[in-house]
Amino acid sequence: MKGHVLVVEDNPANRELLCDWLESEGYRVSVATTLAEAKASFVDPLPEIVLLDVQLGAEDGLCLLSWMRNERRHERIPVIAVTAHAISAEQTRIQQAGCDACVPKPIDFKVLAAQLNVWMARPTTK
* pTM for the model: 0.93
- Work out the mean pLDDT of the chain and round it to a whole number: 91
110 or 59: which leads in pLDDT: 110
Select from 30, 5, 32 the least CA-distant residue to 116: 5
pLDDT tens-place string over residues 91-102: 888 888 999 999
Read off the pLDDT of each residue in 8-15 and give the average, rounded to a whole number: 96
pLDDT tens-place string over residues 39-49: 999 998 999 99
Read off the pLDDT of each residue in 62-81 and give the average, rounded to a whole number: 94
**Helices within 10-108 (DSSP H only):** 12-24, 35-40, 62-69, 88-96
> For the domain 4-121, what is the CATH code?
3.40.50.2300
Domain ranges in the chain are: 4-121
Sheet of 101-104: strand order equals 28-32, 4-8, 49-52, 79-83, 101-104
